[in-house]
């Protein structure tokens, strides 16, 4: 199944424009419909800002030749659960595009943990776009952070439509001392053969775990190889009766340098 319906969450911050560029580029590449969603809280942002954001969305969609659907939702009540609102609109989509949280956005009604919450509850792959930088291409050179298990398998399958159009795909495993290198290599070869049956040309790499945090290992690889997308499965653990993403995902949500596609 390809990408036919994308949803991008927009807001009134400057980095929203870069997020829109990423979403428009993906929609054009996959000939998908793109929905732009802005959530207002107590009539904020104001009408002029909403109109300007809508005009930007409609102009970019028209320039790309894609179908664009604009939606502006007024959050009801005094307590705003933006995650629930976005999640409700994402149920009929294939991919959700959101921004990396910042202290600025958290102080103006956009939860700092919005991306994390949506990864855990949406049931969709979530593409998180960094708040800094611009991204001319996303999905040309892809690094998949692989750890055999449900979450990585889910992320790999969620990313298939993107991987099928990529010029370069690397499946990277970081293994501990208890793992046999021969087993890792054999399973990685099986994975690459499986992807080849889906039209994905992938290469596998592996390295032993060292003292560096796993997030740093993957970000360093992204930098060294010039990757424009990182794909990862998100592990979660219970804390205080609720789920939280694991330490690797949490680090990447703080320190990402390229868009990260996350699945749980």
Q: Structural domain boundaries of the chain?
A: 5-129, 141-263
Question: Is it true that 5-129 and 141-263 share their CATH fold?
Answer: yes
Share of the chain above pLDDT 70, in %: 93
DSSP of 29-71, one letter per residue? HHT-EEEEEEEEETTBS-HHHHHHHHHHHHHHHHHHT--EEEE
Is it the case that residue 162 has pLDDT exceeding 70? Answer: yes
Which helix H or strand E contains 220, and what residues bound it? helix 214-225
141-263: CATH topology is Rossmann fold (3.40.50)
Provide the pLDDT confidence category of residue 182 given band limits of 50, 70 and 90. Answer: confident
Question: Which comes out higher in pLDDT, residue 149 or 42?
Answer: 149
> How far apart are alpha carbons 223 and 34 in whole angstroms?
29
> How far apart are alpha carbons 31 and 121 in whole angstroms?
27
5-129: CATH topology is Rossmann fold (3.40.50)
Provide the pLDDT confidence category of residue 14 given band limits of 50, 70 and 90. Answer: confident
């Amino acid at each position: 199944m390809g990408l036919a319906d994308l949803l991008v969450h927009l807001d009134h911050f400057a980095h929203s424009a870069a997020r829109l560029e990423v979403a428009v580029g993906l929609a054009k590449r996959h000939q998908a419909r793109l929905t732009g969603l802005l959530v207002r809280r107590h009539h904020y942002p104001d009408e002029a800002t909403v109109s300007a954001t809508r005009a930007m969305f409609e102009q970019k969609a028209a320039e790309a030749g894609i179908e664009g659907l604009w939606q502006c939702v007024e959050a009801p009540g005094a307590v705003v659960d933006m995650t629930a609102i976005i999640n409700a609109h994402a149920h009929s989509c294939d991919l959700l595009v959101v921004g990396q949280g910042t202290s600025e956005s958290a102080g103006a009604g956009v939860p700092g943990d919005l991306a994390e919450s949506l990864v855990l509850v949406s049931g969709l792959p979530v593409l998180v776009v960094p708040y800094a930088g611009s991204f001319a291409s996303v999905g040309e050179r892809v690094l998949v952070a692989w750890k055999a298990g449900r979450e990585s398998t889910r992320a790999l399958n969620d990313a298939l439509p993107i991987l099928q159009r990529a010029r370069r795909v690397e499946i990277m495993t970081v293994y501990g001392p208890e793992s046999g290198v021969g087993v890792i290599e054999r399973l990685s070869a099986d994975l690459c053969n499986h992807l080849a049956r889906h039209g994905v040309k992938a290469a596998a790499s592996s390295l032993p775990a060292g003292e560096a945090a796993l997030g740093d290992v993957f970000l360093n690889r992204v930098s060294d190889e010039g990757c424009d997308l990182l794909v990862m499965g998100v592990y979660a653990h219970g804390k205080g009766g609720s789920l939280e993403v694991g330490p690797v995902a949490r680090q990447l949500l703080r320190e990402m340098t390229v868009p990260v596609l996350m699945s749980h």
